[in-house]
Each structure stands twice: as C-alpha cells, then as structure tokens.
Amino acid sequence: MLSLFQVMSVYAQSGDVSDSLVSKQPLKEKISLKLETLNSAEWFKVNGNPGSDLRPNSSIINSIGFNYRFASLSYQFLIKQLPSNSDNDIKGETKTNGLSFVFSPGQWTSDFSWVKTKGYYLKNTDDYISSWEKGYPYLQFPDLKTKILRLRMGRILNSDYSLNAVTLQTEKQLRSAGSFLPNLRLTHYSFDDETPLTGTNSSQKSTQIEAIASIGYIHTFLLSKQIYLSIDARPGIGYLNTNLLTRLPTEEIKTRQSSFVTGFNSDVQLDYNGNKYFAGLRGSYSHFDHRQGENTAAKITNDRSTWKFYIGIRIKAPEKLKNEFDKVESKLLSLVPRKKRHN
C-alpha cells in the first residue's frame, strides 16, 4: 500500500506538461465515453481424438464504458439482431452479458470482470457426425452455462510509460516508451450443463480456479502526436484446480484434479488519441493449456484469437466528480510518509 501511495504522488504531479521531457499527460478534466466491438465471447477447446471445440454463437459482442482518470466501468452485451448473431437455426441461441471494473492509479493496474454466457455449439461437429456438411446445423448445447470471474493485478516498472493511454484513454503518451509488466491473473470458471435428466442421459458441472503469474514487455511507439502503435507479449505459468460433478440417472460422481498451466498473451494495437475523439483497433492472441488428467496425454486448451474496435469521445468532467476524485487522491497522498530532511 505504501508503494501505491508513493506512485500516486508521482501520478498527481505529472499533469504539468510544460517540461518537454514529460512522457505522459493525465487528462484530469475529461471523461472518456467508449463504445467497443469484440468479435466473440470466450470459447473452449479440448485437444484429443477427436477432441471438442465449444463456442458461443456470438460473432459480435459490444460494450459501453465510462472512463475517468484511473477508473473505468463497462458493461458487455450481445445484440441478437445483428446478422452475424442471428443464425440460431445453425448454431443455436447464445445469451451473454458482463461487467468490468478497472482501477489503475500511477504505475499500478488492476481490473475485475464478470461474464455470464449460455448456449454453445460444437464447432467440430464433423468429427462426430460423418455426414455433416457446411450449412447443416451444428451439435448444440443450449443449456450449457458458463460464468467467468477474473481479477488481474500488475505494475508498470517504467514510470514514463502510460498504460492508461492504451487501455482507458484517460492519459496521453507524449514520447515513445516501454516497460516490463509483472502480472498476476486469478480466474474462477464455472461450467454447468443444465440439460434435464431423462433417465437415459447425463450432465456435468465443473468449477475451476486458475492462478497465472506472468512477466511481459509492452511498448508504445508514437507515430505522430496523436497516433500510437502498441505491442506486448506476456508469457505465463500457473496452477489450475478443477472440481467435476457428473450427474448420472442413478448417482452423482465427484472428481478433482490439479495441473500446471502454461501459455502466453500477445497484443498489437493501433490508436488515434485526439483531444476530443479517440479510436483504435486491437488484435490479441491468447493460448493457455493444461493436461486433462494426470494419466492422459489429452490437453484442455483455452485458445483465442480476437480483434477489438473502439471509438469514443471526451467530455468535460462535472465539478462534483472532479472534487470527489481530488478528495480521494488527497486522502491517499496524505498517508504517504514524507522523507526526512538532513541538514
């Protein structure tokens, strides 16, 4: 906490950009309103023979966000009327929504997200039905529900680098800079097939707790005063604990397993960060996997390639909001121990 307060002291003083050597500029007078479009919710893949590739029918996901200084709140939703989301007869119906909160003062960053999705289809249906052809309905799991709770915490090691300029658009990067970024990600997954038991079928419920530590590098190149190119790569290793409940017509079977997780994240982002308007395009790739069991070669893979487009506008922050944030910063900074002067 003391490190956090000391970082905020530097953050509070970085608003003066009269010095040409200043590398970032907080936009304390502006609120950023942002609309994002993402190409899909998360999907899950199990490598094997034949394996399985479960995906939601959500080609386009949208979110709206409210960003101010070091805080952000956003809501994720699915518009079923979009053509890419309306092929329910082929892939089934998907429902999804979620919330995200980011707290990122100074060199520290943390975010919490919650996403609920119901309705999946089997992308590799042809591995199970030899007569299946493109255009035929996929095998569907309308009662499969997932809930994902995720907490990420990290610290930018270079105080000249602005992560908020890339993620929240509440700052501006004034010079090209990069930084190492140690990060800890905690995730709770819940998978529940709520298909009613008829006496001849079965269903499963799984809960997983995953902890992954990573250290990567992120760099922002200023192509002009208002155009950025950001690149990062973050290899990681962690631990996964899984509890599985199998519901049979006559009994329930519980199993538990633990395994190591390895993988990486990488991103490329192009931003326009103007004084009033901003926009950007981000491409991401994430790959993490672990063994399905201690005595099997099969792996469960969370493998995801995504793109995200966002556009936003900055408006003047109300005086009451500015005053409240000033009070919060003032209270936190008052807890920072001052260095003793030596005569």
Distance, in Å, from the CA atom of 34 to the CA atom of 304, rounded to the nearest integer, reads: 24
96 phi and psi angles, rounded to 5 deg = -150, 145
- What pLDDT shows up at residue 147? 92
**Residue 343: its pLDDT value, please?**
47
Please report whether residue 342 resides in a domain: no
* pLDDT, mean of each 10-residue run, the chain (343 residues): 38 40 86 90 72 82 92 89 74 90 88 93 89 89 91 94 92 94 93 81 85 94 94 93 84 86 92 94 87 57 82 93 82 58 47
- Is position 130 within any domain? yes
pLDDT at position 294 is 55
3-class SS of residue 207: strand
Which H or E run contains 223?
none
pLDDT, residue 300, reads 67
pLDDT at 31: 94
Total domains, the chain:
1
pLDDT for 47? 66
Backbone φ/ψ region at 48: left (φ over 0), alpha (ψ -120 to 50), beta = left
Q: What is the CATH number of the domain that holds 308?
A: 2.40.128
> Residue 305 and residue 266: Cα distance in Å, rounded?
10
- What pLDDT score was predicted for residue 226? 92
Q: Is residue 229 situated within a structural domain? A: yes
pTM: 0.81
| Residue 341 falls inside a structural domain | no
- Write out the residue range of the structural domain in which residue 62 sits: 2-334
The predicted structure's pLDDT at residue 286? 86
Q: Which two tokens stand for residue 83?
A: 């053509």
What's residue 293's pLDDT? 57
- Report the C-alpha gap between 48 and 31 in whole angstroms: 48
- Cα–Cα distance for residue pair 212/185, rounded to 1 Å: 5
How far is Cα 279 from Cα 34, in angstroms, rounded to an integer?
9
User: For residue 328, is it within any domain?
Assistant: yes
In angstroms, rounded to a whole number, what is the distance separating the alpha carbons of residues 133 and 173? Answer: 50
Domain presence at residue 343: no
Burial 109-144 (b: 16+ CB within 10 A, else e): bbbebebbbbbbbbbbbbbeeeebeeeeebbbbbeb
Q: Does 263 fall in a domain?
A: yes
For the chain, the helix, strand and coil percentages under 3-state DSSP, each to the nearest 5: 15, 55, 30
Domain assignment present for 340: no
Cα 96 from Cα 59, distance rounded (Å): 12
